[in-house]
């Protein structure tokens, strides 16, 4: 029985994680921390959540844990990772702290020096399908961002095959409101989000952009990405519509073949039949990614859907844990 | 041209009022105040609102105003009313401060002494259809609460006719989220309000209860009300389903006749044809109240729908102003 | 391994059932029928559903099935039940066909003679918590309606204890749109249901009324029920706010004790702590019923929430099957 | 007083038009037709609509009308236009029948010969801001499609200035559900549209594509458009996120200047301040188009928002009528 701890169990990713781990037959939740609700129970905060006591982060019994999940704000996550690694826990960090390999890039985008730059080189960027073989040895996994998961799973077959690009890739992404976090804000007020639809931080300014470009540049060092996030009036789900200008003369059949080959054996990635497009209905409340392919002249249009709280956060974190711990990869996720 | 001032223009009632007054051909908006957005423009806060500068409440040029609307928290409203009346403005208060005639009842429900108890006797409770003839002479109008407007317009024909009641009246009311105000709270977060439906403060504990009972007791001094508000996942609108145990042997035809007679000449109250029930679709974005009548044995079931921000707040406030100022009652409200 | 068949797998209850049975470790789905989608796969109709071929009802291999679930329109369900019982299947009918014990009452409410009146006496009305001990021997179970489940679970402790009622019980119920079925109608069009809230068939005219009164009259033969259903702009969930005029002088503590005693050992019914009210957030996507108790004078206000597709349909059907088959009652339902 | 007739008043565009014309001080609604509701009143179908009798299309008193609006399916619209023009009415057609100038293109996209090809040359494509000076003489106006209005108003300043394009333009558009029409379909069922978000007909297959390319090709004969419509879970509103690869070295300031100059005097088009993006909240229930400009390298990202039923249909139709009839352009539309 694996003993797992959750830091930050009362945010949306944290409670999703608690629910998944509760169903997981090989895991016992050792502790759950909260900043605002210490002394209460998790199901007092979310009526459907497991009945877990909420303790302060500083009181977490790290020495008894096998693995800890960090659902904390950036910087707080890195500091907790340092403590947890020192206590010999394996760490799966759902924050952005260990996703960027270069501390200078981190500082540029997060306006503060990295709290633990020495750990950056050891962290594995946990897009499970891409790094499966590195996970069993990983001590520290940087769980990918929600938008990057939807975009990178869709682009990966193209990038791995070295398909040349004739211009910038455009990712027009739409996310449900839970992506904005649980702290109430004007933009997440029901009255302002319902019946509305809003782009925000479009172009080259969202913090998920460098995370995606770092991945892309491993394969195509000068590829450029334009990223346009939008706020969708649904609680959960991300759909990314991705425009890739294909610079080769590859046929639609060959492109489709690349995707089918890349994901044929994957339990959680589904390449949709020709003519079918990905929608949120394919994926919400599951750990799946659905990918549709459409051609328009020389542009390949990819539609890629995930649940931002599952495959985009807590689900992929558990998938990573399963592989790290040599469990069945799908345990707790069906 | 009537010069009107709005205190608290950046709350939901305030901005609704600004939009109505902007369309009103006989009114000029002299000023609009805000606590949080002084120095900005109203359409920076709400993209569809009029382009009005936002000033601090203390800087409002009261001496130039004919009428002021108070869309302020309770207590702040009473204090502003005192200032405005001293400057010879007529005052329409959308807060609860002047709705209860008895300062002791106010103190019991609002946990603080009334800030201006001397004014209570002069305030007119502005359920327009009921007090139309008192409005032209009123200096201070207490605009009714949103729930009370939906419930009292429905009960009024019964009360006025002295129809005996055989037990407590039950008002099971459902309100859109804008009724909870603009300040972001956990309960108004999109992720928690969407797909949800919640009763709150049911029974005899909501602050609108004494307001309704005060009205009812004018006609039936021992009638009792049970009031169950619920939060509905829509931005605006209230539907009250009201159960009145009729103690007489009045026929359905006679009961319907009471309602038709009471509201035949009313521009904003519509008694629906037999068999039709009130829904939010009848009333949202209008100043109307739609009332349906259904019988179940000796119980009369009334369905009463309004838009909480219009007939339940800003619209009724303008309707009151129109009558106070001898304007066409429907000006700005069609 | 129990072999189960689903008649009508492409309606909302049917696909919910398919998803639950798919997760159920002791059950194999032998077949799934459809009227409109014969020859297709269930996951072509619902992208998240299990990958099951859809066959015509007439081709169902009844002789190999242990149990069949009927998610069919009324009359069609009764006719299929006759066939299935003849083939020695046990039958769980989610339609209304076997809920009313009196064929004359059925005819009065459904405007047609009952298709199989001889079976009425043998059917068990499957409110699991109430008839648990009769289920192991039942061949034919009438799964309760969604509204009745929410109302009757809440009233049952009062009825069983014989608490006297001083007047009609009022059930003001609000249901998500899936309760109206999958066939597209004007009232279920997104544009007309979103931002709206509508009462319908209120008073004593909805077909779930005789089903509820039949249950109630077992305990209080002259009790009367007023039932007001409303359409709520959410996909799933029912909240019933129930007003019971308590004719005894029972204290709040004693009333609460009745409920706690009635449901202490129940895995799926939760009596909420004092001061807490049931909401949809307590129950959606679960087989739970949450019940809150509030007093207002002599009226007990019960708030009772279920997911109409789970405890109100497919989940309770599986719960019934589990008890019938001597399986763990919660199998497949956690 | 202008006498106007509405063909097809019970669709979403038709009823929106009836509501706008009802408020229009210079217009009298002479008749309103319906196919499904002949003999009923419009406010029986939509509780907030004007109280207008619904007659059959064949009984419309064309000879008394000054102008007729066609809110009919394609083909039916063209046939009615022929009749109305013969009766000397001016015609504003909200269908697609007169938008494409080439009957062969029409036939290719609508799979049927054009019903009135001789009229195509006389029809004015009524993007009001673009063809204002042609409208006073027009007998037949083809009101633009909803998606084209949002896309073309955004592209027009670039096209008119002859800014060179370095590749295909991409329009990633998101529309509220009313764009799919009032006839209930599975995709517009509340349960399937709520919480969902779906691309459809993306690439080069939607019928609005040739309409947009026809406009674009007037300025840039070889420009190519990729068009990706998506269904958004809101009742109304379109947001198009448009990616234009700018082939010149134009500065952001110069590009912004083009837009400000193009729309400085327009009552209904608002170029947003630098840094602001268009959202549905800017435009729903108004005749406005809000346009935001963002640069990402050599790509200009335009965000363009309209209300699909107002500026995208009925509002623009009335705007066109106002200009045709030499009325104030904004009459009835504020």
A141 inside domain: no
Residues of B with CB under 8 A from a CB of D: 23, 46-48, 195, 279, 281-286, 290, 334
A127 min Cα distance to partner chain C (Å): 23
Cβ-based neighbours of C123, under 8 Å, separated by 6 or more: C93, C98, C99, C101, C138, C140, C141, C142
pLDDT in tens, D19-41: 999 999 999 999 999 999 999 99
Residues A74, A91: contact at Cβ < 8 Å?
no
C112 and C195, same structural domain? no
A154 and A74, same structural domain? no
- State the average pLDDT for chain B: 97
Q: Which stretches of chain B are DSSP H helices?
A: 12-23, 42-45, 76-86, 103-110, 128-131, 146-160, 190-193, 208-217, 252-263, 315-324
Q: C285 contacts in A (CB within 8 Å)? A: 48, 285
Here the CATH number for the domain that contains residue D25 is: 3.40.50.720
- D243 contacts A277? CB cut-off 8 A: no
Q: Where are the beta strands (DSSP E) in B178-296?
A: 198-199, 225-231, 238-245, 269-271, 289-296
C151 min Cα distance to partner chain D (Å): 24
D297 and D175, same structural domain? yes
Confidence of residue B249 (pLDDT cuts 50, 70, 90): confident
Q: Would you state the pLDDT for residue A248? A: 82
- pLDDT at residue A152 greater than cutoff 90: yes
B330 inside domain: no
Alpha-carbon dihedral sign for residues B182, B186, B188, B191? positive
A67 and A211, same structural domain? no
- C281 contacts B192? CB cut-off 8 A: yes
pLDDT in tens, C67-95: 999 999 999 999 999 999 999 999 999 99
B141 inside domain: no
Q: Would you state the pLDDT for residue B37? A: 97
Which phi and psi (to 5°) does residue D272 adopt?
-75, 155
- D191 contacts C178? CB cut-off 8 A: yes
- C182 contacts D184? CB cut-off 8 A: no
Alpha-carbon dihedral sign for residues C214, C216, C219, C224? negative
pTM: 0.97
D130 inside domain: no
B219 and B118, same structural domain? no
What distance in Å separates the CA atoms of residue B259 and residue B264, rounded to the nearest whole number? 8
Two structure tokens written together for C177? 């749109």
Burial class (CB in 10 A: 0-12, 13-18, 19+), C51: exposed
Residues C23, A334: contact at Cβ < 8 Å?
yes
Element (H, E) at C301: strand C299-306
- B189 contacts A189? CB cut-off 8 A: yes
Short-list B214, B309, B311, CA closest to B270: B311
Q: Would you state the pLDDT for residue B334? A: 86
Of C48, C283, C285, the CB nearest to A282: C48
Please state, for a pLDDT cut of 70, what percent of chain C lies above it: 100
Short-list D171, D234, B46, B16, CA closest to A231: D234
How many domains does chain D contain in total? 2
pLDDT in tens, B96-121: 999 999 999 999 999 999 999 999 99
A227 min Cα distance to partner chain D (Å): 9
What distance in Å separates the CA atoms of residue A244 and residue D163, rounded to the nearest whole number? 23
- State the average pLDDT for chain D: 97
Residues D211, D276: contact at Cβ < 8 Å?
no
Q: Would you state the pLDDT for residue B248? A: 82
Q: B279 contacts in D (CB within 8 Å)? A: 47
B321 C-beta neighbours (distance < 10 Å), count: 30
Which of D175, D189, D192, D307 should be substituted to probe chain C, the one whose Cβ sees the most C Cβ atoms within 10 Å?
A: D189
Provide the domain limits for residue C245: 147-308
Q: First and final CA of chain A: distance in angstroms?
A: 19
B312 min Cα distance to partner chain D (Å): 18
Catalytic member of D71, D89, D133, D146:
D146
- pLDDT at residue A162 greater than cutoff 90: yes
D206 and D259, same structural domain? yes
B184 and B117, same structural domain? no
What distance in Å separates the CA atoms of residue C32 and residue C49, rounded to the nearest whole number? 12
A103 C-beta neighbours (distance < 10 Å), count: 15
Cβ-based neighbours of D26, under 8 Å, separated by 6 or more: D1, D2, D325, D327, D331, D332
ipTM of model = 0.96
Catalytic member of B71, B89, B133, B146:
B146
What distance in Å separates the CA atoms of residue A272 and residue A154, rounded to the nearest whole number? 12
Closest residue in B to D288 (Cα–Cα): B48
**pLDDT higher at D251 or B309:** B309
SS3 readout for B321-332: HHHHCCCCCCCC
What distance in Å separates the CA atoms of residue C178 and residue C173, rounded to the nearest whole number? 15
Please state, for a pLDDT cut of 70, what percent of chain B lies above it: 100
pLDDT in tens, A208-246: 999 999 999 999 999 999 999 999 999 999 999 999 999
> Can you spell out the DSSP letters for B125-152?
E--HHHHGGGGGG-SEEEPPPHHHHHHH
What distance in Å separates the CA atoms of residue D160 and residue D218, rounded to the nearest whole number? 9
Of B176, B178, B190, the CB nearest to A193: B190
Q: Would you state the pLDDT for residue C143? A: 98
pLDDT in tens, C201-221: 998 899 999 999 999 999 999
pLDDT in tens, B178-210: 999 999 999 999 999 999 999 999 988 999 999
Closest residue in B to A46 (Cα–Cα): B192
Q: Where are the beta strands (DSSP E) in chain A?
A: 2-7, 27-33, 54-55, 67-70, 90-93, 124-125, 140-142, 169-175, 198-199, 225-231, 238-245, 269-271, 289-296, 299-306
What distance in Å separates the CA atoms of residue A11 and residue A181, rounded to the nearest whole number? 7
For residues A101, A103, A106, A110, the Cα torsion angle rounded to the nearest 10 degrees is 150
pLDDT in tens, B275-334: 999 999 999 999 999 999 999 999 999 999 999 999 999 999 999 999 999 999 999 998
Which phi and psi (to 5°) does residue B20 adopt?
-65, -45
Burial class (CB in 10 A: 0-12, 13-18, 19+), C79: middle
Q: Would you state the pLDDT for residue D1? A: 94
3-class DSSP state of D80: helix
D276 and D155, same structural domain? yes
B237 C-beta neighbours (distance < 10 Å), count: 31
Chain centroid offset of residue D198 CA: 22
- D299 contacts A202? CB cut-off 8 A: no
Confidence of residue C334 (pLDDT cuts 50, 70, 90): confident
Confidence of residue C49 (pLDDT cuts 50, 70, 90): very high
Q: A334 contacts in C (CB within 8 Å)? A: 23
D157 and D94, same structural domain? no
B298 inside domain: yes
Q: First and final CA of chain B: distance in angstroms?
A: 19
Average pLDDT of the residues in A84-95: 98
Q: How many CB pairs under 8 A join A and C?
A: 26
- pLDDT at residue B42 greater than cutoff 90: yes
- pLDDT at residue A266 greater than cutoff 90: yes
Two structure tokens written together for C254? 């004693």
D328 inside domain: no
D7 inside domain: yes
- C237 contacts B228? CB cut-off 8 A: no
- pLDDT at residue B71 greater than cutoff 90: yes
Angle among Cα C187, C193, C197 to the nearest 5 degrees reads 105
A44 and A169, same structural domain? no
Q: Which stretches of A242-292 are DSSP H helices?
A: 252-263
Tell me how far CA of residue B310 lies from CA of A50, B49, B82, B145, in angstroms: 42, 15, 25, 11
Residues in chain A: 334
C170 and C106, same structural domain? no
Residues of A with CB under 8 A from a CB of D: 166-168, 170, 172, 174, 192, 194-200, 202-204, 224, 226, 228, 230, 232-237, 239, 241, 243, 245, 277-281, 284, 292, 294-297, 299, 301, 303
Chain centroid offset of residue B129 CA: 12
C186 inside domain: yes
Which phi and psi (to 5°) does residue A95 adopt?
-85, -175
Short-list D263, D255, D48, CA closest to D158: D255
pLDDT in tens, C265-303: 999 999 999 999 999 999 999 999 999 999 999 999 999
D174 and D116, same structural domain? no
- pLDDT at residue B47 greater than cutoff 90: yes
Per the listing, tokens 């495959």 go with A311
- C277 contacts B202? CB cut-off 8 A: yes
Average pLDDT of the residues in A109-122: 96
- D186 contacts C177? CB cut-off 8 A: no
Q: C235 contacts in D (CB within 8 Å)? A: 190-191, 194-195
Tell me how far CA of residue D66 lies from CA of D69, D79, D87, D219, in angstroms: 10, 18, 10, 34
Here the CATH number for the domain that contains residue A274 is: 3.30.360.10
- D48 contacts B281? CB cut-off 8 A: yes
């Amino acid at each position: 029985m694996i003993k797992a701890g959750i830091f930050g169990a009362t945010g949306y990713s944290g409670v999703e994680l608690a629910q998944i781990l509760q169903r997981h037959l090989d895991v016992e939740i050792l502790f759950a921390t909260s900043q605002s609700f210490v002394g209460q129970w998790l199901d007092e905060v979310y009526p459907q959540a497991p009945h877990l006591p909420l303790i302060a982060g500083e009181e977490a019994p790290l020495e008894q844990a096998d693995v800890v999940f960090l659902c904390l704000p950036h910087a707080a996550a890195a500091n907790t990772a340092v403590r947890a690694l020192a206590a010999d826990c394996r760490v799966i960090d759902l924050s952005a702290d260990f996703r960027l390999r270069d501390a200078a890039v981190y500082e540029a985008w997060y306006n503060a020096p990295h709290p633990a730059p020495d750990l950056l080189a050891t962290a594995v960027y946990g897009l499970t399908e891409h790094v499966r073989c590195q996970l069993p040895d990983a001590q520290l996994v940087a769980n990918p961002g929600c938008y990057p998961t939807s975009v990178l799973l869709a682009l990966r077959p193209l990038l791995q095959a070295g398909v040349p690009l004739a211009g910038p890739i455009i990712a027009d992404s739409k996310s449900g409101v839970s992506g904005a976090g649980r702290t109430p804000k004007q933009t997440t007020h029901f009255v302002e989000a319902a019946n509305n639809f809003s782009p925000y931080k479009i172009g080259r300014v969202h913090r998920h952009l460098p995370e995606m470009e770092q991945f892309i540049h491993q394969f195509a060092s000068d590829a450029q990405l334009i990223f346009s996030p939008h706020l969708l009036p649904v609680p959960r789900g991300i759909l990314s519509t991705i425009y890739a200008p294909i610079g080769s003369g590859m046929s639609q059949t060959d492109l489709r073949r690349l995707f089918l080959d890349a994901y044929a054996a994957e339990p959680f990635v589904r390449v949709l039949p020709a003519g079918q497009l990905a929608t949120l209905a394919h994926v919400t409340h599951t750990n799946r990614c659905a990918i549709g392919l459409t051609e328009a002249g020389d542009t390949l249009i990819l539609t890629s859907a995930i649940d931002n709280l599952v495959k985009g956060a807590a689900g992929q974190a558990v998938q990573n844990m399963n592989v790290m711990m040599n469990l069945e990869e799908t345990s707790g996720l069906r």
